[in-house]
Structure 1
């Protein structure tokens, strides 16, 4: 409890002295997770939700229009949701809409969900907000209410409580593919037919996405300079066909296919692509490796550019197919 009070006091001090400072940046300065910061605010503007992840997902249509942000450490994909189709069970959820949005959520990764009011952007008015954290205190998703008068937000208050989450620390262990195992990996890769096959490939061979890309270099992947990914982001605004952007992490995948209209570089090396329904942001200073990857899919071979940070975490992917 003493540690939570210290974190809360640091949060309040930062909010007064540097209101533009994002929670993620504050967490890095304090050496804690964003989840620990939000947990320190329990009862002071933040509440735990007692709903199961499946029940919460099925309530999304009652929240009206929302902006759903999927995050990694150095990138974010923000989609505007209105009418959408939702399918869910206790382990998986799928969200699709007519604007070419497709999300696949792994609900067992939803360790803690809190309800609060947050500013969706620096200087913006606070809005009802749901934040989803994994057991390491990392933000998986954020949902901001664009129509706060929707009945669902009031209903969520009945499931609000003060249960304190117990976060743990994450230890990443890389598992490189050896020369002896590479033939089996290549054989499995050639046999893939959809994204589910690729997930099973990673699990079977106990590889991270970046490890698999490195292992099939010269066959299905090619390393590229990081600048190539930045050029692809800028070029997305000039394409006549929509670009499919994907953000994939341990909690699932967020895909959205749109025609982007605006590209600009913000403060602190932040690159941003915008459309009417999607905003994509990426910290270019964290960009370490870029791979051009070919995978079999339901409609044939697909080619994408995948960006990774220094820890090997995937930041973002762009589909290079003109017809995608």
Structure 2
């Protein structure tokens, strides 16, 4: 465990860099983002209980907000309300029409309610971090959100310990591709008997592999490698053809899903952005090392996805066809036009 340094210089650093993004400022100065926020406890930040079963019902009362979930390479921002919450001991879900989350509560460790006063007035947010101090999930209030409900959330969840000093655990290293070519036939045989995509991780776990390792040995048509530019091409094609999609972005503690059409795909330097009124995606295209076209059998027909990974083997995002109203025929046809890479990594 590592104790964080004196919070006063951290607050001074923030005052000197008021426009910098919190994550960028923290990383540039050898801090975690949780450390930056904790330094402001009593100065606009309040330590709150991060347990989702207590937190999410109170977040639902905030009304229309912006939900943010990210990893090192991608940020997923979705406007909406936190409706249809499903509690649980080991996993929870928010299944609202706009905000759609899968929550893994063991990683919801440090919670803060934050009020920051700037040129545009008071900005309010709920920010959750894991044991290492990395952001798991954030809720940003908008002008339409209920500020009184935010005050009620803070009062209900405020913890007795309002320390500006956190104790952080070491960050777990990324897991590179893990496969066993001697079990390739067993992998393919079990793959072909799946009836639901959620069975996949249990399958590869039993075979002592991980997601990327399994893709690298499964072979066509189950997994085929695409050019890294395929993610950008697919986003443009979905926007131009009004093909509805499901875009999954997550980390160890939360997966956030957009379901429906996308409209504006805007490249900006290394970033590939979706800039829609109620959904934004910010993807670092230069961090995409491998992209796979994956086909898994389900009771409702094949689930076909594009999945991007970074150089460390961590998954960045997954894109599926949207199934709610009709079979994703347009998506399935479009992704099959994307260029395959003949060379598969060892």
TM-score by shorter chain over 0.5: yes
Aligned residues of 1:193 and 1:298 also touching (Cα < 8 A): yes
Aligned residues of 1:217 and 1:223 also touching (Cα < 8 A): no
Q: 1:178, 1:202 → 2: CA distance?
A: 10
Q: Which residue of 2 aligns with 1:88?
A: 87
Q: Which residue of 1 aligns with 2:271?
A: 270
Seen in structure 2, the aligned counterparts of structure 1 residues 204 and 138 have a Cα distance that, compared at 3 Å, is farther
Shift of 1:175: 5.8
Shift of 1:143: 0.3
Q: Which residue of 2 aligns with 1:218?
A: 220
- Decide which of 254, 257, 261 is 2:256's aligned counterpart: 254
- 2:132 aligns to what SS in structure 1? coil
Q: Deviations over 1:35-86 (max 9, x none)?
A: 2222233222222113632111222221111110111111011111136211
Q: Which residue of 1 aligns with 2:139?
A: 143
Q: Which residue of 1 aligns with 2:109?
A: 111
- 1:4 aligns to what SS in structure 2? coil
Q: Which residue of 2 aligns with 1:13?
A: 13
- 1:226 aligns to what SS in structure 2? coil
Shift of 1:216: 1.6
Q: Deviations over 1:205-233 (max 9, x none)?
A: 34433222223233411111111111112
- Decide which of 152, 155, 164 is 2:152's aligned counterpart: 155
Q: Which residue of 1 aligns with 2:301?
A: 300
Q: 1:274, 1:322 → 2: CA distance?
A: 25
The higher radius of gyration belongs to 2
CA RMSD of aligned residues (A): 2.6
Aligned residues of 1:307 and 1:316 also touching (Cα < 8 A): yes
Shift of 1:118: 5.2
Q: 2:291, 2:119 → 1: CA distance?
A: 34
Q: 2:183, 2:25 → 1: CA distance?
A: 42
- 2:6 aligns to what SS in structure 1? helix
Q: 2:204, 2:119 → 1: CA distance?
A: 41
Q: 1:81, 1:129 → 2: CA distance?
A: 14
Question: Unmatched 5+ residue regions in structure 1?
Answer: none
- 1:300 aligns to what SS in structure 2? coil
Q: 1:37, 1:11 → 2: CA distance?
A: 8
Q: Deviations over 1:172-218 (max 9, x none)?
A: 34362122222222233222222321232243334433222223233
- Decide which of 208, 211, 232 is 1:209's aligned counterpart: 211
Matches within 5 A, 1:168-247: 168-169=169-170, 170-174=172-176, 176-247=178-249
- 2:293 aligns to what SS in structure 1? strand
Shift of 1:312: 1.4
